[in-house]
Amino acid sequence: MGVIALSQAGDAQNTGGVFGPIVNDSYAALQYRAAYDLESDGFAQRVHYEESLNGDFMWRTVLGTHKTVQSDSDFDFFQAELFWELSDDNDPFRTGLRFDLHLRDRDRPHFLGVHWMNQFNLNEHWSCRFLTMSTVEFGGNANHGVFLQTRASVTYRLNEHLSLGAELYDSYGSTDDLLGFADQTNQLGPVANYSFGNDFSVYGGVLYGISDSSPDSQLRLWFTKTF
């Protein structure tokens, strides 16, 4: 989840993902994410719980914390999400929408989001994702306009356990004041995901800044348990 360009991400540490549109019936998962900025020593964490309602809809709640002057783990945000898959299970091209409500404290603005998710499976090994994100702020100190982001990934599945890939994150600022490339947040980096059977997986990666205003490098680690 992603804001100026990071104002709605909540932190300079990127704990977001290139999320896909696929919703499976009778699915539930618990996930922990962490991101560490090597230059600023910034650290952010979040915990997810998600559960499908049927084969088309899934809800998710997210609790985020970040490191501040007062504490290593201060409350950052709470987010509620609804995924809606619009494609059929047998389609090679899958698409859907996600709706977000993101709440923060300390007089920081909240926001609403609508995101368009796309995934294309080229074959049994290669898959691609691309999504567009749009959010509007509300509440105290809210900025004007619609904040825009895109995210993309390419993944190669080596075997039933291990997948390797690359992810790209671009944040363009608000339609009220779109940013030039040097002022945007643009990050690119490799990722790996290892599954320990059917119900537990570990994801790790590093993101490198490719524009002047982006963080230089960030480490990311996720643990996921499915039910």
| CATH assignment of the domain containing 212 | 2.40.160.40
- Quickly count: other Cβ atoms within 10 Å of residue 7's Cβ: 19
State which amino acid sits at residue 84. W
Question: Which residues pair with residue 113 across a beta bridge?
Answer: 100, 135
pLDDT value at position 103? Answer: 97
Residue pair 85/102 in contact by the 8 Å Cβ criterion = no
Find the helix or strand (DSSP H, E) in which 180 lies.
Answer: none
Say if 3 falls within a structural domain: no
CA distance 171 to 66: 20
Distance of CA 149 to the CA centre of its chain: 11
pLDDT value at position 140? Answer: 85
Say if 203 falls within a structural domain: yes
Strand stretches in 26-144, DSSP E: 28-37, 43-52, 57-66, 74-85, 93-104, 110-121, 126-138
Question: Per the confidence metrics, is the pTM higher than 0.85?
Answer: yes
pLDDT value at position 197? Answer: 81
Listed as ranges, residues in the chain with pLDDT below 50 are 1-11
Question: Which residues pair with residue 121 across a beta bridge?
Answer: 127
- Residue 107, Ramachandran bin (φ over 0: left; ψ between -120 and 50: alpha; else beta): left
User: Of all residues in the chain, what percent are helix, strand and coil, respectively (each to 5)?
Assistant: 0, 60, 40
pLDDT value at position 152? Answer: 98
Q: Which domain holds residue 221?
A: 28-226
Say if 111 falls within a structural domain: yes
- Residue 181's SS3 state is helix
Say if 50 falls within a structural domain: yes
pLDDT value at position 147? Answer: 97
Say if 14 falls within a structural domain: no
Say if 22 falls within a structural domain: no
Say if 165 falls within a structural domain: yes
pLDDT value at position 67? Answer: 86
- Tally of domains within the chain: 1
Say if 2 falls within a structural domain: no
pLDDT value at position 69? Answer: 66
